[in-house]
Amino acid sequence: DIQMTQSPSSLSASVGDRVTITCRASQGINNNLAWYQQKPGKVPKLLVYAASTLQSGVPSRFSGGGSGTDFTLSISSLQPEDVATYYCQYYKSAPPEITFGQGTRLEIK
Amino acid sequence: QVQLQESDSGLIKPSETLSLTCAVSGDSINTGGHSWSWIRQPPGKALEWIGSIYHSGSSYYNKSLKSRVTILVDRSENQFSLKLTSVTAADTAVYFCARDKNIWNHGVFDVWGLGTVVSVSS
């Protein structure tokens, strides 16, 4: 089974900073990678899928990149409302296999 | 606008069976094009995929839960369900139902229910 490892597990940055979260797959997954944002007590929100495609309505300061085993989620200019836990997710269909990373908690310094 | 609403289960005892339903509004399970899934999140922990059911009625499960999980569709009620047998404290979690984007992105979840808290305790 494919394992997804995120780093760092937590991160503190200042408003306006560029922030990057990394997700590594235990084996190559092409671009079958999504990113979600989960604010405290809230439902996960889809940010990026197919590694780099921004979901409709997501602010352009978010971007995804990578392929194969190494992926990134970047926020170009951190805003207070971006405080959340971010999860990467591997997905495959036929038959489906879905694995989430352990999460990265992002806080404002 | 598509909305998903999980039923309540609340507190259940160890060894009992957890049963949840997810009512779908604003979309029809019968039209195809999406799979319908259950995902859970133990307190303070990461998300865990439980399983998915496709329009065909075929269901697929997380290998770690496969022996205890059943996901079914009720097309007449436009809802799908989750049964998890022989629960333990480790099954305590918020349970979410979710819909994926489309047939080209099965497993990318763009619509989620609000979640329902399930506590397993004697």
What pLDDT does B55 receive? Answer: 83
Place of tokens 């399983």: B51
Average pLDDT over residues B61-83: 96
Q: Would you call B59 an interface residue with chain A, using a CB distance cutoff of 8 Å?
A: no
Q: Please, are residues B18 and B93 in contact by the beta-carbon 8 Å criterion?
A: no
pLDDT at B33 over 90: no
Residues of A whose CB is below 8 A from B1: none
> Alpha-carbon distance B36 to A56, whole Å?
20
pLDDT at B102: 85
pLDDT at A109 over 90: yes
Answer yes or no: is pLDDT of B106 > 90: no
Which whole number is the average pLDDT over A50-65? 98
pLDDT band with cut points at 50, 70 and 90 for residue B78: very high
- For residue B116, the model assigns a pLDDT of 97
Mean pLDDT for A76-101 is 95
> B49 vs A99: CB contact, 8 Å cut-off?
yes
Residue B6 pairs with which residues in a beta bridge? B22
In single-letter form, the type of residue at position B120 comes to: V
CB neighbour list of residue B49: distance below 8 Å, 6 or more residues apart: A98, A99, A100, B37, B38, B39, B62
What residues of chain B lie within 8 A of the CB of A93, using their CB?
Answer: 35, 106-107
Residue B69: name the closest of B92, B52, B55, B54 by CA. Answer: B52
Q: Does B112 touch chain A (CB under 8 A)?
A: yes
The span from the CA of A83 to the CA of A39, in Å, is 7
Tokens, residue A58: 């997501």
Helix (H) or strand (E) holding A34: strand A33-38
Q: Which of A49, A94, A100 sits opposite B47 (nearest CB)?
A: A100
Contacts of B106 in chain A (CB under 8 A): 91, 93-94, 96
pLDDT, one tens digit per residue, over B9-31 is: 878 999 999 999 999 999 999 88
Give the β-pairing of B59-61 and B69-74: unpaired
Report chain A's mean pLDDT, rounded to a whole number: 97
Minimum mean pLDDT among A6-20, A56-70, B53-67: which range?
Answer: B53-67
Q: What is the mean pLDDT of chain B?
A: 94
Chain A touched by B107 (CB under 8 Å): yes
Q: How high is the pLDDT of residue B67?
A: 96
- The whole-angstrom distance between B77's CA and the closest CA on chain A is 24
Q: Contact B70/B21 with Cβ under 8 angstroms?
A: no
Q: Residue B30: what pLDDT?
A: 84
Does residue A51 have a pLDDT over 90?
A: yes
> Does residue A9 come out as left (phi exceeding 0), alpha (psi in the -120 to 50 range) or beta?
alpha
Q: Is pLDDT above 90 for A48?
A: yes
Strands B69-74 and A45-49: unpaired
